[in-house]
Structure 1
Amino acid sequence: MANKMKLARNSNRESHRFRLVVFVIGCFLVSMTFIVVSQPQSIPFPILGLKPRVHVAPSTPKAEQTTHSQQPGGVSGQNNATEQSKQEIGRDNETQERSMKADDPRTHQDEVGGEINSAQKETFPSTTDKLESDNGMLERNTKTDASNSNGGELHRKFTLPTISNYTINDSFQVENASNAEQLGSENETKGGSAACDPNSGNCEKNWEENTSNSKQLGVGDQKMNSERKPLCDFSHYRVNRCEMEGDIRIHRNPSSIISVESTERSSESYRIRPYPRKGDKIALSRVTEVIVKSSKEGPQCSINHDVPALVFSVGGYTGNLFHDFTDVMLPIFLSASQYNGEVQFVITETRPWWMHKYVPVFRKLSRYEIIDFDNDDRVHCFKHAVVGLRAQMEFSVDPSQDPNGYSMVDFGRFMRSVYSLERDTMTKIEEHPHRKPRLAIISRQRTRKFTNIPEIVQMARDLGYEVVVEEAGISTNVSQFAEVINSCDVLMGVHGAGLTNLVFLPINATIIQIVPWGGLEGIAMFDFGHGAKAMKLNYVQYSINVDESTLTEIYPRDHLVFQNPMSFHRKGWELLRGTFMDKQNVKLDVNRFRDVLWKALEHMMQ
């Protein structure tokens, strides 16, 4: 009897388990049926052995292709009159003079040109060339010395120790005793700020439509459909850039670049000044504002182009040799080289005299006539357009940050090819026993000039140098000057824009930068030192001592100028510039400097 009752209980338990299993399976089948009917896209395909369907976006409309018949390097819609060019130079000089006298309590000034907001703290770059910091974004802006291309004024605030001694190491680097190259790091914010920062003053963005399923893409407070990226990128600390594909129409009245689209994505509208000194109100005040937007309609095309458009400005601080290169020549090299000449330049602020000066550079990068955005009334249509140039550090490039991996070595070779310069790499003295090593001395006629040039020349000749003394002015023929510099093995000069000519030196040549008294070593390294080293030049930074400064003729030896020059740094750039830049010339100690030139000779023998 007991066995029967136990068997009955076991049977009941098995029946209960069976019903439970049937219930679970039933629920699973009902759930899967509901999913298949209501949301087929949510089925776990890999589990079922199926593959999802891929939806391909429709292609963008194609513009009609035409053959370009323009002459390379020319500027459409522009007449080159010599008299007009002279008048423009005069007007530019007057404008730059007025700018240098402007009283802006938020800015400070300096020599090779630039300005930053005084609320932004500046230090100078470390040997790693990193420009990131939590302290804020450095915006180094510049002004031009109207009567001397070696001039120009830079607004900045900084604090550096005073360094006057130097040593020469085995790798032929003249270093200050306190290691001027490691005096801090340039504080640049890269991508950390919201787009269209109200303090930058260089863009506005308007949104007419926002869909409920759109999401934030990190550009200001704007929202976009997740399937599209914004037309413009404002995350870079130095430049704003826009890039468009499809039906792009460019017209000067108003200055607009329109991406014509039939899609339902929200309309975008940006205002951008395509010049690589983001946040510099003085520089950008001389740059045409361009409207970049998407729209379902645009003006009728006058001419269709089958190559991409690159839109940028040559206004700002150009006219100063340093800014010609750091703001335009280097950025267009980084931006246009990838196209191998198949790119159309659309340029604002095209002054005839300046364009003529650098026409070989434009011809090397583009096979087509330049479109003068400010004066061409036609509607130009493209399939691809980029607004704004790539730029990184001041007069330097980090290849790891460039999408094409370009370096300063590449830029140097490019500039030598533009002017068909003979020497790409410096040869050793032994290979040319009958040729004397050549030394070029960059002369200045206003501030920070050498007061004992004949004595310096004689000392160099006694060491065996052939010496040439040159001055790079605003009207200097770049091609002829480049040939002179390229023929030299050593280039020396006091800190100033004339040292920009180092781009024409052959690899392994030597550049010697003379740093005036006043704790300016960090500025000198930032403007020229890092770029020179990146071009594989032997860089020497020679800081003068008190006895080599003509400030001794103005101030007594117990003055703060000599006892505590860093106190001037803390009082603002106006005072610093007026004291250590505008009032100071250099009387080089030829006995002390002889060792530097001798080491340069030894390097040429290795």
Structure 2
Amino acid sequence: MTEYGGESRVLNHSNHRSDVYEFTGDVRLKGNSGTIFIESMINSNIPHTIKPYARKYDAPGMEAISAIQIKATPSDKLPDCNKTLDIPAILFSTGGHTHNYFHSITDVMVPLFATSQRFNRDVIFLVINHDFSRFTSEHRKTLESLSRYEVVDIDRENRTLCFPNMIVGLIAHKYDLSIDPSPNSTLSTRNLTKLLRTTYSLKRESVSYHNRPRLLVVSRTNYRRLNNELELVELAQKLGFDSVLQDLGDHLELAAKIVNSFDVMVGVHGAGLTNMVFLPENALVIQIVPWGLGYIAKEMFGMNPQEMKLKYLEYRITANESSLLGKYPNHSQIYTDPFKYCDKIGPRACFRLFYINQDVNLDLHSFKNILLKAMQLMAA
């Protein structure tokens, strides 16, 4: 049994998106009690609890995340080790919003890459809140690319596991799909997309010029549907694209291969656009932004493509292109100032109105200009 003498060292990597603490020394995790013991005298700099999920600003979402207890304990009062591992560990939650594909990538997978890459696969992943999560099965291949060890479900572990180093929580960077590039390492959004293309054996690293760029229109079957998606495909075809309408479904590996085969991806703001991580470099993403969602759409999908070496265009619909048109009085703030209206009704009601209860009736005459610009970009 390996012993680690001396007090544990604590590093705080927290930011506005996540609480993250790194413990080095004698770190003991008492299985399904969700309690970590570190060898130390009581220290005010050590947190009492951590919820290891990269969405701490989202109070409703964080309610379902279990809290990990941290106890600074003198060496003679530490629980005995049932199993000692000579490798570092990262502990995180696969609960929260991970049933949603976008959040499984932004709240877990991207931060996990940012947190684990420095270990070069010599790290073990410990998960909580995994009972109803499909995260580890859906992202199995990527997890295997980041760690050479089996994932451990702590909620089902009744032993005390001991480590020389443990990170509790995941390091999340400023934007959902981005990683701040590090000058001293290979940590970057672009390297994440390279890893994903390798992981899923995707054939295309970058776009090569051809006369008819392949254009994918991502179909949505629930809310924020594009009501005239077939007409959009026909228009793109007439303008010189080889255009296809496709529902990407929930089979990750199949979706990755489909998306990688295209040069241009067009989609209404939503989880389907997350698949831009599988596009070849120099491909183009066109985001159709529903009424009232301009700022959040830009932040979620518009800030990242350049970091992935992708091109980006955005089309913000007018109120006349929203299915909300005609459902409220003409002078309603829903049409004149949706942001002020959201301040009035609150975030949950705003979400229901603009995210759930809205579809898009695209003005194809107006959108034609976006497609012509796309053709120019693909020829450049």
TM-score past 0.5 threshold: yes
Q: Aligned partner of 2:30: which letter? A: H
SS, match of residue 65 in structure 2: coil
Give, in angstroms, the shift of residue 445 of structure 1. 1.8
Q: Paired residue for 1:448, among 219, 224, 235?
A: 224
Instruction: Give the match for residue 243 of structure 1.
Output: 22
Confirm or deny that 1:311 pairs with 2:91.
yes
1:239/1:404 Cα in 2 relative to 1: closer, same or farther (>3 Å)? farther
% identity of equivalent residues:
34
Listed as ranges, the matches of 1:49-60 within 5 Å are: none
Listed as ranges, the matches of 1:205-604 within 5 Å are: 231=10, 233=12, 236-260=15-39, 266=43, 270-295=48-73, 296=75, 297-351=77-131, 353-397=134-178, 399=180, 404=185, 406-429=187-210, 436-473=212-249, 476-518=250-292, 520-555=293-328, 557-571=330-344, 572-604=346-378
CA distance, structure 2, for counterparts of residue 526 and residue 360 of structure 1: 28
Greater radius of gyration (CA): 1
SS, match of residue 166 in structure 2: strand
CA distance, structure 1, for counterparts of residue 354 and residue 26 of structure 2: 54
- 1:428-458 C-alpha deviation (Å, 9 max, x unpaired): 12xxx6xx42111111122211111221111
Q: Is contact 1:515–1:541 with CA below 8 Å preserved after alignment?
A: yes
Give, in angstroms, the shift of residue 490 of structure 1. 0.7
Q: Is contact 2:32–2:154 with CA below 8 Å preserved after alignment?
A: no
1:330/1:564 Cα in 2 relative to 1: closer, same or farther (>3 Å)? closer
Instruction: Give TM-score, length-normalised by structure 1.
Output: 0.58
Q: Is contact 1:392–1:398 with CA below 8 Å preserved after alignment?
A: yes
Listed as ranges, the matches of 1:150-189 within 5 Å are: none
Q: Is contact 1:62–1:246 with CA below 8 Å preserved after alignment?
A: no
SS, match of residue 61 in structure 2: helix
1:251/1:527 Cα in 2 relative to 1: closer, same or farther (>3 Å)? same
Give, in angstroms, the shift of residue 310 of structure 1. 0.9
What number of residue pairs does the alignment pair up?
Answer: 374
1:576/1:458 Cα in 2 relative to 1: closer, same or farther (>3 Å)? same
Give, in angstroms, the shift of residue 581 of structure 1. 3.0
Give, in angstroms, the shift of residue 506 of structure 1. 1.2
Q: Aligned partner of 2:239: which letter? A: L
CA distance, structure 2, for counterparts of residue 350 and residue 292 of structure 1: 20
Give, in angstroms, the shift of residue 299 of structure 1. 2.1
Gaps in structure 1 of 5+ consecutive residues: 1-60, 65-226
Give, in angstroms, the shift of residue 229 of structure 1. 8.6
CA distance, structure 2, for counterparts of residue 294 and residue 333 of structure 1: 28
Q: Aligned partner of 1:378: which letter? A: R
Give, in angstroms, the shift of residue 503 of structure 1. 0.8
Q: Aligned partner of 2:97: which letter? A: Y
CA distance, structure 2, for counterparts of residue 465 and residue 269 of structure 1: 55
Gaps in structure 2 of 5+ consecutive residues: none
Q: Is contact 1:509–1:537 with CA below 8 Å preserved after alignment?
A: yes
CA RMSD of aligned residues (A): 2.6
Instruction: Give TM-score, length-normalised by structure 2.
Output: 0.90
Q: Is contact 1:63–1:382 with CA below 8 Å preserved after alignment?
A: no
Give, in angstroms, the shift of residue 478 of structure 1. 0.2
Q: Aligned partner of 2:288: which letter? A: I
Q: Is contact 2:51–2:66 with CA below 8 Å preserved after alignment?
A: yes
Give, in angstroms, the shift of residue 311 of structure 1. 1.0
CA distance, structure 1, for counterparts of residue 200 and residue 316 of structure 2: 33
Q: Aligned partner of 2:213: which letter? A: P
Give, in angstroms, the shift of residue 592 of structure 1. 1.7
Q: Aligned partner of 1:488: which letter? A: F
Give, in angstroms, the shift of residue 426 of structure 1. 1.2
Give, in angstroms, the shift of residue 405 of structure 1. 5.9
